[in-house]
């Protein structure tokens, strides 16, 4: 490892060229972190990097397609060369689904969604864990959704108030991929208990981004609030929790 011991606090955010990921990148960098802005498309990644660096932030484009093992390995290698450790990994990259009734969804669509929302998170986490283990306070934040909650789906009840009582969209690929991501979160949290690495899932709220045709009500910066809190938790912070955006300072605990 050629990185020096005086590397600043460092974070990686996946899918950070736009939307909530860019909001998280901005807020972490404003807190003084060096943030690697993960993006699968070089042009879009560099454009976002330019925009944030113009505001004086230490943001560096990191080429990272979470579904491409070579890309993931190259990103891990670059970090190995540039930083002594990684303090926060925000697994934000995500895709929506077809919005078809579950019984009509082609299984290929389900696989495609899981490649990014589930397998991509596992691939990136495993590749970057050695870097996180070298941090005195490694944090992993998985950007999930209340739509991944089995408890709330079964009760047809959305505790975040986006959908009226009795309505819970049945989005097969998206909801089940986020439910799997929630399971991934708890599983890593349990493996890493006692190591100092805290692993939590977030539902960022209903945010106006491309994924929902900008129908959300929060800005990406507002949606970044809870992810940033969890990415910068103190050493006595929680692990294995699922936190949703709300009006309170630390968000609401959601049921899995
Ligand atoms: N918006 C909401 O209301 C809401 C609510 C709950 C949860 N979420 C979650 O929040 C996260 C961010 O979504 P968003 O709302 O900000 O949507 P968005 O604006 O569509 O952003 C999604 C990001 O993920 C990236 N991405 C997709 N596939 C990727 C891959 N294979 N490798 C690397 N990056 C990839 C996209 O890159 P490209 O630009 O290259 O496509 C984009 O940067 C997602 O996990 C989403 O499920 C959003």
Q: Going from the N-terminus, what domains does the chain have, and what CATH number goes with each?
A: 10-253 (3.40.50.720)
Q: Is the pLDDT of residue 236 over 80?
A: yes
What number is the average pLDDT over the span 136-152? 98
Other C-beta atoms lying within 10 Å of the C-beta of residue 166: 9
At 220, give phi and psi (nearest 5°): -55, -35
Atom of ligand 1 nearest to the CA of 212: 1
Ligand 1 center–CA 168 separation, angstroms? 21
Q: What residues contact residue 140 under an 8 Å CB cut-off, 6+ apart?
A: 88, 89, 91, 125, 132, 188, 192, 197, 198, 199, 200
Distance from the first to the final alpha carbon of the chain:
39
Q: Which two tokens stand for residue 126?
A: 């495993």
Mean predicted lDDT score pLDDT of the chain = 96
- Taking residues 231-244, report their average pLDDT: 97
58 CA distance to ligand 1 centroid (A)?
22
Encode pLDDT of 55-107 as tens digits.
999 999 999 999 999 999 999 999 999 999 999 999 999 999 999 999 999 99
Q: Is 188 a catalytic residue?
A: no
Helix (H, G, I), strand (E, B) or coil at 194: coil
**Ligand 1 proximity of 23 Cβ (cutoff 6 Å):** no
237 vs 5, more confident: 237
* Nearest atom, ligand 1, residue 96 CA: 47
For atom 46 of ligand 1, the residue with the nearest CA is 94
Q: Which of 13, 21, 45, 227 has the most ligand 1 atoms within 8 A of CB, as the residue to mutate?
A: 21
Beta carbon of 79 within 6 Å of any ligand 1 atom: no
Distance 112 CA to ligand 1 centre (A): 14
Q: Identify the residue whose C-alpha is closest to ligand 1 atom 42.
A: 15
Q: Per-residue DSSP letters for 129-176? A: HHHHHTSTT-EEEEE--GGG-HHHHHTT--TTSSS-TT-----HHHHH
Q: Which of 138, 123, 137, 73 is nearest to 93 (CA)?
A: 123
- Of 1 and 241, which is predicted with more confidence? 241
Question: What's the whole-number mean pLDDT along residues 215-227?
Answer: 97
Mean pLDDT calculated for residue range 169-190 = 98
Q: Is the pLDDT of residue 4 over 70?
A: no
Task: Name which residue leads in pLDDT, 76 or 160.
Answer: 76
Binding site membership of 48 for ligand 1 (Cβ less than 6 Å)? no
DSSP, res 102:
G
How far is residue 176 from each of residues 83, 172, 238, measured CA to CA in Å? 35, 6, 24
Mean pLDDT over 17-38 rounds to 98
Region 8-33: what's the mean pLDDT? Answer: 98
User: Does 2 have pLDDT greater than 70?
Assistant: no
Residue 196: CA count within 13 A, CB half-sphere: 12
């Amino acid at each position: 490892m050629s990185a020096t011991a005086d590397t600043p606090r460092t974070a990686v955010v996946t899918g950070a060229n736009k939307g909530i990921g860019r909001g998280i990148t901005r807020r972490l960098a404003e807190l003084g972190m060096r943030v690697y802005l993960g993006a699968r498309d070089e042009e879009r990644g560099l454009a976002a990097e330019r925009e944030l660096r113009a505001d004086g932030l230490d943001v560096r484009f990191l080429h990272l397609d979470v579904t491409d093992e070579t890309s993931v390995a190259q990103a891990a290698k670059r970090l190995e060369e540039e930083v002594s450790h990684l303090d926060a990994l925000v697994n934000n990259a995500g895709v929506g689904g077809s919005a078809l009734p579950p019984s009509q969804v082609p299984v290929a669509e389900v696989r495609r969604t899981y490649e990014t929302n589930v397998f991509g998170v596992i691939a990136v986490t495993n590749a970057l864990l050695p870097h996180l283990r070298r941090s005195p306070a490694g944090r992993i934040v998985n950007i999930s959704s209340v739509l991944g909650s089995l408890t709330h789906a079964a009760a047809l009840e959305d505790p975040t108030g986006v959908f009226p009582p009795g309505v819970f969209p049945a989005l097969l690929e998206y909801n089940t991929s986020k439910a799997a991501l929630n399971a991934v979160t708890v599983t890593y949290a349990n493996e890493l208990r006692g190591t100092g690495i805290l692993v939590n899932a977030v539902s960022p709220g209903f945010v106006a981004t491309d994924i929902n045709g900008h129908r959300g009500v929060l800005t990406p910066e507002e949606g970044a609030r809870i992810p940033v809190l969890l990415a910068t938790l103190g050493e006595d912070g929680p692990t294995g929790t699922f936190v949703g955006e709300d009006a309170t300072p630390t968000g609401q605990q959601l049921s899995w």
